[in-house]
A and B are shown apart, each in its own frame.
Chain A
Amino acid sequence: MTAINLNESSVRELNEKLQSGSSGDQFSVNNTVGKHALSVGLTSEINVEINGHVGYYCAGMNQQANIVINGNAGPGLAENMMSGEVRVTGNASQYAAATAHGGLLVIEGDASSRCGISMKGVNIVVGGNIGHMSAFMAQSGCLVVCGDAGDALGDSVYEAKIYVRGEVKSLGTDCIEKEMRDEHKKELKELLKQSNMNHKVEDFRRYGSARKLYNFDIDQVDEY
């Protein structure tokens, strides 16, 4: 285990060290005090444990690495993640996993607004609640919410799947509740298992695209 103390190392030194790590390497990062862009651009299967709260853009563009944040995360957590796993034991601020293409993001607490905005294949599991405009224009992947969802969930969603256990304050344009078929139950069960969330699949409801926005509707020509 290599320990990196951010009282002694700069963020650039930290990221250089992590980016040059080899598969299986273990790192711990301390004294984070809300600094920005920690542990970004990692490309190998290393394990990073970050102790403390982090600021903007932690774990951005992650590929393959397994990153655990023991604390809360600021805006833009795991933005554009490609693969690997990022776990936050606390809460995450707005637009977590925005545009992320793959991997798994687990937020054990609450996620703020715009969680999974324009997600493109990532799986996101949130232990608590999520804020407004989450999964806006979400293209693919799954957003699992073990608590409640805020306003305008899944507005203009494409083919991402949204599973919510609690209440949904409101659904966004073109987002509807959909039937929970066996393949969805199987997929959700696997995601809950992977993220260590102890909930019954039967308690969740599925939401997705009504697919009314894919094509121009001649009846709405007057709207333009």
Chain B
Amino acid sequence: MCGIVGLFIKNPALESELGALVAPMLSEMTERGPDSAGMAVYRDPNDKGCKVTVLSQKLDFDWASFEKAVNSHFSLNKFTVTQNHAVLSLDNSLSEVEHWLASNWTDLSVTSAGTNIEIFKGKGNPADFIKQFDIKNMTGTHALGHTRMATESAITTEHSHPFSTGQDLCLVHNGSLSNHNRLRETLKRAGVQFKTDNDSEVAAGYLSWRLSEGDDLDEALNHAIEDLDGFYTFAIGTKDGFAVMRDPIGCKPAIMAETDDWAAMSSEYRAIATLPGAENARIWEPEPTQIYSWKRS
């Protein structure tokens, strides 16, 4: 069992309240996933260059020295440290930044890369995560969150969701995959790299691979129905919105709701009930294998 929440702001006036709206949703899903929590937030686009979130396993990591090193190599225009994460906004290309990080900072892992996305995650109770990362004060266009109850692999920050699946893309998953070990080996041979033995990371790696092979998101998800064996409700964050898909059996719950101000998805209605106007929202349960997506027009 895990909990998923997603919120997409339709009324720009509410973008300043994204964190205040999504934090209670995540908190409401604590019982579904008390082990760890995570959130992807889309905000402050850096269209000139790239934005990267890095994670250190060490709480006492020397971020000041790291910032100095980044500054000496790149044109860094914003550097924000929150807990053991740092968000770098740079004028340089993503590929050169990622290459430099991988070559010189092996104890840092990249949790997100793109122009809009930032991913934060941590083990422990979701209430602590919300507090430590000041989720309530986050602004932005949309966010995806996850509360984890581990069934397939260890409880660590790196095993927590969301998982990056490419530039400005991320995945959160409720369910369990039964063919992840074999699929991971196949994907490794295709050049996909994995950081953990987590089944959801395989789903993320699979989608990254399909997208790199030329699929669009809908095509990648349709291929996933063929190649992933197991139970899943997926929510996929994109630069402009997010998409939701359930497996053909459809036993993992999901509920979606929409008003003029927002569109939301969650594992349960009680998370959506925290949103203003939820009682009068259009509410429905996503059909198995159907892809539902919202996009900024």
Contact = CB atoms under 8 A, between A and B. Distances in A.
Interface string B203-236: 0000000000000000000000000000000000
Interface string A171-185: 000000000000000
A177 B287 CA distance: 26
B188 interface: no
A93 B253 contact: yes
A35 interface: yes
A6 to B, nearest CB: 11
Contacts, number: 46
Given A35-B270, A55-B270, A112-B285, A131 B279 contact: no
Interface in B237-291: 250-251, 253, 255, 268-274, 279, 283-285, 287-288
Contact of B250 (A34, A56, A131): A131
Interface in A117-141: 131-132
A71 to B, nearest CB: 8
Contacts of A55: 268-270
A53 B269 contact: yes
Contact of A34 (B251, B272, B284, B288): B272
Interface residues of A, number: 19
B269 A132 contact: no
B253 A33 contact: no
A31 B217 CA distance: 39
B279 A52 contact: yes
Contacts of B285: 91, 93, 112
Interface string A30-71: 000111100000000000000011011000000000000000
Given A52-B279, A53-B283, A112-B285, A94 B250 contact: yes
Given A91-B285, A112-B285, A33 B250 contact: no
A36 B268 CA distance: 10
A219 B42 CA distance: 60
B285 to A, nearest CB: 6
B273 A53 contact: yes
A94 B288 contact: no
A55 B251 CA distance: 15
A74 B250 contact: no
A56 B270 CA distance: 10
Interface of B: 250-251, 253, 255, 268-274, 279, 283-285, 287-288
Given A34-B272, A53-B279, A74-B269, 8 more contacts: A33-B274, A34-B269, A34-B271, A53-B273, A53-B283, A91-B285, A93-B255, A94-B253
List the 9 closest A-B pairs by CB distance, nearest first. Answer: A34-B270, A34-B269, A33-B273, A34-B273, A53-B269, A113-B250, A112-B285, A55-B270, A33-B270
Interface of A: 33-36, 52-53, 55-56, 72, 74-75, 90-91, 93-94, 112-113, 131-132
